[in-house]
Amino acid sequence: MSLDRCAPAVPMAGASSWLHSSFYRFTPLADAAAAAQAVRGLAQGVTGAITLAPEGLSGAVAGTPAAVQAFEAALVASPAFGGALRGLVFKHSHGRTAPYARLKVNVKPELVALGLPGAEALPPPDEEDDSHLSPAQWRALLDEGRAVVLDNRNHFEWRLGRFRGAVDPQVPNFRDLRAWVAAQAPAWRAEGRPVAMYCTGGIRCDKTAPWLRSLGLQVLQLRGGILGYFEALPDAERDWQGECFVFDNRIALDTRLQPTATGPAQVYDPAQADEAWRLARALRLQAAATGV
């Protein structure tokens, strides 16, 4: 189910006047549809994409700093979540153009479509367990070189940018990851190597971690994801090669969390069927956001 506010984004003055905020929280929602209605009412003056599911919520919004900050405060305080969003981390970055054309609120079965069989038997994702490494600890892990550094994203994201030494699962969609990991797990177990995984903001890793542990793997995760790493370390380019793909009209960020000049045609390979439709969609969304 999708609830769309169709008013187009309005360009604002200033070189970096759009504040972008991304967030997620795994928390049981008895009525995700009702929570979605509440969120839609809170999101005044912002555009973006927000997903709610029985397992929680995730989203990204953009607007003036004042509008974004007002939304964040209202979301955390909303009675629709019964206090479960206290301490919610919002990752901020900026942009010169509208990241989104409008606000879209979706209700889905999962926040991240992994589609694991028997998922109900797994422990729920834990955003605070001790498998999460700080950026400084992650850098030390990269320097040590013992772990399997798993890029927990799609192939086109890895191709645009990645941590040094990262393994590319070469999957066109995140849901394809499980078959690739299952095939590699016996060798990783035999070698006694921990699996250290990362993704853009952390949600895909938190979603995947309980399943990886069920395969007998030692799991480590980068707390705050790539964006958190860029924010924490002013010399993140020491460890990051290329740019970081983001799922909005900015397309890519550098290690200073600033939009780059990269466009959709430089990200997606039209010769690949799964990337061809992504390219067409990205161009369509850009046109809607800019009014071109």
pLDDT for res 174: 82
pLDDT, position 289: 64
Please count the CA atoms within 13 angstroms of the CA of 123 that sit on its side-chain side.
Answer: 10
What pLDDT was estimated at residue 134?
97
Collect all residues with Cβ–Cβ distance below 8 Å to 22 and sequence separation of at least 6: 59, 60, 90, 91, 201, 227
**Catalytic residue (choose from 6, 199, 205, 244):** 199
pLDDT recorded at residue 8: 37
| Cα gap 155→271, rounded to integer Å | 14
Nearest to 13 by CA among 100, 96, 103, 101: 96
Residue 21 three-state SS: strand
Distance CA 111, CA 115 (A): 11
Q: What share of the chain is helix, strand, coil (3-state, %, to 5)?
A: 35, 20, 40
Paired with 245 in beta bridges are 252
CA–CA gap between residue 157 and residue 252 (Å, rounded) = 10
pLDDT of 95 reads 83
Domains delineated in the chain: 2-107 (3.30.70.100), 119-284 (3.40.250.10)
pLDDT at 114: 77
Burial of 216 (0-12, 13-18, 19+ CB in 10 A): exposed
Q: Per residue of the chain (292 residues), what is the pLDDT tens digit?
A: 444 443 334 434 344 589 999 999 999 999 999 999 999 999 999 999 999 999 999 999 999 999 999 999 999 999 999 999 999 999 999 888 788 989 999 999 999 887 776 677 789 999 999 999 999 999 999 999 999 999 999 999 999 999 999 999 988 888 888 889 999 999 999 999 999 999 999 999 999 999 999 999 999 999 999 999 999 999 999 999 999 999 999 999 999 999 999 999 999 999 998 899 999 988 887 777 666 5
Length of the chain in residues, anyone?
292
30-55 burial, b at 16+ Cβ within 10 Å, e below that, comes to eebeebbebbbebbeebbbbbbbbbb
Residue closest to 146 by CA, chosen among 216, 196, 181, 193 = 193
Would you call 57 helix, strand, or coil by DSSP?
strand
Helix or strand or coil: residue 272?
A: coil
Q: List the Cα angle 10/264/244 in 5-degree steps.
A: 90
Q: Give the pair of three-digit tokens for residue 219.
A: 């799991």
- The token pair that represents 194 in the structure block: 């921990």
Taking only the tens place, the pLDDT of each residue in 209-261 is 999 999 999 999 999 999 999 999 999 999 999 999 999 999 999 999 999 99
Nearest to 290 by CA among 272, 264, 268: 264
**H or E stretch including 60?**
strand 56-63
Residues above pLDDT 90, as percent of the chain? 78
244 classed as catalytic: no
Picking from 60, 278, 280, the residue whose alpha carbon sits closest to that of residue 172 is 278
